[in-house]
A and B are shown apart, each in its own frame.
Chain A
């Protein structure tokens, strides 16, 4: 009564949504554990420069005499190297911290790019409609019919061949973000477009238009909030996929170079040594990668169950 704004619809709805959301989270042990592990990994990645004993990017700090030392818990482990060392004598623990950081950054940025592109295109297609809409959606169809990984492999392979490894390695992070980010926009575009089409029919959008609000304001203030839950669900799955894609590309030597390894390049560099018994160079980064992707996927699954959004089906 005293404060009209406090009881306004969206705010209250927002709070109900939030409380339900939080409640079902607390009720689900898998979600809680996944979130805890994800936060732990994210924090470790964020604090890598402070947590890592050595800088894994500085070869002058490695000693070839230390190469291929097993983790501390093995009989011949060295107490200086928690997870052992790789073929160059690099501390694996430090390399994993920095590698996780790279994998997460690339995954998150690539998905942010996908979302930005996809949401804008979806909003435009749905709002403008007509020929623009059918053209954009046809583009989305074509884009989707090509496998992202295939396009990424070819694009990166060709650019690498064209500019040489050195130039390529210098810009590898940006290339990975760009190529993973550009390829998957249709996911977002289709979902957002579907929401726009559904919302456009509703009265409040009409009244907003009658009140003289511009299309941009209507889209951002009125339509976008309604597509938030599908966007959320898509994004978690997409981050997991982007991290896998990055790792796969780096494994093929088309991503992060061994001098600046992500989890994928670490696994790749260790693969040559599993036959000689140095399993840890591959196994430990592999476990970190799988756990990271798994907890994100589990969170995504849980979120899909709770929010139960209408996802676009092709």
Chain B
């Protein structure tokens, strides 16, 4: 287990290194920090002097090391637009995005497992066929269209639910304000969360169904039947545990995709999260903020992938020995 852990952490560091290189390259080439600082009106001599002072004339390596050093201390530069440390700006927006992802994940897990298992156990009944039919329609509708459609129906048409913003939020800890404390908050997060879940849910239903059907064909399931084990135990203990192993792996990758989709959902619902902020930063060429977003998102990716791998290692009894031997 320890060797496995060390290997994982090592991989995570390697990926963060790559992300830091890319981020630095962007920072180095995108926008002109001098212009943001002093504007256009300063003479060339003063500019040169400022460049020296800011270390912009240092070697690439020196500049990169300084960048990493600062980043490790939590200094990712100052946002041109907000005139605040970029990391602070991001961290203030982070809870909104995380809550959205969390709500969507709950919807996905809560629905995909029962639906996937049901359609695998009863592949030919009408309900299963309907679920599978709907799932392929679900996969074919882009997230932003689902979001627009829901706004059109529930906000513009029926006027049941709000179409933008977070509504009434309650501070929890530090800059963390939550949607889950008030009814208004719940109403506001409902549509964005459903929209965000809309493309992953059918994907997971189909994945769970496919894996489950394969597992149900396996020898050990047939053997369990030959032992006289009850169908319920066969489905939910023998089959489901084996089904979830590959699903966990895919799930880890999909978390990254979810973060990407938050950009789309947040844009449509004007949800004040990091994704929405990122697009604004791009339009304003707010380089430090863009870089900070990149690093924070990269960090989220790496952490979730590592956690998912560790969970996989815990659930799958064959993994420890195999990795430790290698």
Task: Give A residues with C-beta under 8 Å from B.
Answer: 142, 144-150, 153-154, 157-158, 160-162, 240, 244, 247-248, 251-253, 264, 267, 271, 274-275, 279, 282-283, 286, 289-290, 293-294, 297-298, 301, 313-314
Contacts and interface: CB of A to CB of B under 8 A. Distances in A.
A150 B290 contact: no
Contacts of B69: none
A162 B30 contact: yes
B256 A248 contact: no
A162 B29 contact: yes
Nearest to A156: B282
Interface in B1-17: 15
B200 to A, nearest CB: 11
Which residue, B143, B151, B253, B263, has most C-beta atoms of chain A within 10 A? B263
A274 B279 contact: no
B142 A294 contact: no
Interface of B: 15, 26, 29-31, 136-137, 139-145, 148-149, 151-152, 156, 246, 249-250, 252-254, 256-257, 259-261, 263-264, 267-268, 278-279, 282, 285, 287, 290, 294, 297, 301, 305
Contacts of B30: 158, 161-162
Which residue, B136, B148, B268, has most C-beta atoms of chain A within 10 A? B148
18 contacts: A145-B301, A147-B257, A149-B257, A149-B261, A150-B257, A153-B260, A161-B285, A240-B140, A248-B264, A251-B144, A251-B264, A251-B267, A252-B263, A286-B149, A293-B140, A294-B140, A297-B140, A314-B249
Contacts of B268: 271
A252 to B, nearest CB: 6
A162 B290 CA distance: 12
Given A147-B260, A248-B143, A251-B264, 5 more contacts: A147-B254, A147-B257, A240-B140, A247-B142, A293-B142
A160 B282 contact: yes
B231 to A, nearest CB: 26
B142 A244 contact: yes
A244 B260 CA distance: 13
Given A147-B260, A153-B263, A248-B142, A271 B148 contact: yes
A24 B217 CA distance: 24
A184 B283 CA distance: 27
B7 to A, nearest CB: 13
Closest 10 CB pairs of A and B: A150-B260, A147-B257, A294-B140, A147-B256, A149-B260, A293-B140, A157-B282, A161-B285, A147-B260, A244-B142
Which residue, A149, A160, A240, has most C-beta atoms of chain B within 10 A? A149
Given A147-B259, A158-B26, A274-B148, A297 B136 contact: yes
A158 B290 contact: yes
A161 B282 contact: yes
Which residue, B145, B149, B246, B282, has most C-beta atoms of chain A within 10 A? B145
Given A144-B253, A252-B279, A313 B263 contact: no
A161 B294 CA distance: 15
A289 B301 contact: no
Contact of B156 (A154, A264, A275): A275
Contacts of B260: 147, 149-150, 153
Contacts of A301: 136
Given A158-B30, A161-B290, A297-B136, A146 B145 contact: no
A253 B283 CA distance: 10
Contacts of B246: 313
Contacts of B15: 142, 145
Contacts of A282: 148
A252 B264 contact: yes
B148 A286 contact: yes
Nearest to B267: A252
Contacts of B263: 153, 252
A110 to B, nearest CB: 16
Given A145-B305, A274-B148, A150 B256 contact: yes
A252 B144 CA distance: 9
Contacts of B264: 248, 251-252
A105 B278 CA distance: 29
A154 B246 CA distance: 29
Contacts of B144: 247-248, 251, 267
B151 A145 contact: no
Contacts of A153: 260, 263
A30 to B, nearest CB: 9
A150 B142 contact: no
A298 B140 CA distance: 10
Contact of A154 (B141, B143, B152, B294): B294
Contacts of A161: 30-31, 282, 285, 287, 290
Contacts of B287: 161
Nearest to B268: A271
Contact of B151 (A274, A290, A293): A274
A251 B149 CA distance: 14
Contacts of B252: 145
A146 B254 CA distance: 9
Nearest to A160: B282
A274 B290 contact: no
Which residue, A144, A157, A301, has most C-beta atoms of chain B within 10 A? A157
A251 B287 CA distance: 22
A267 B256 contact: no
A271 B259 CA distance: 22
A248 B263 CA distance: 10
Contacts of A294: 136-137, 140
A105 B259 CA distance: 27
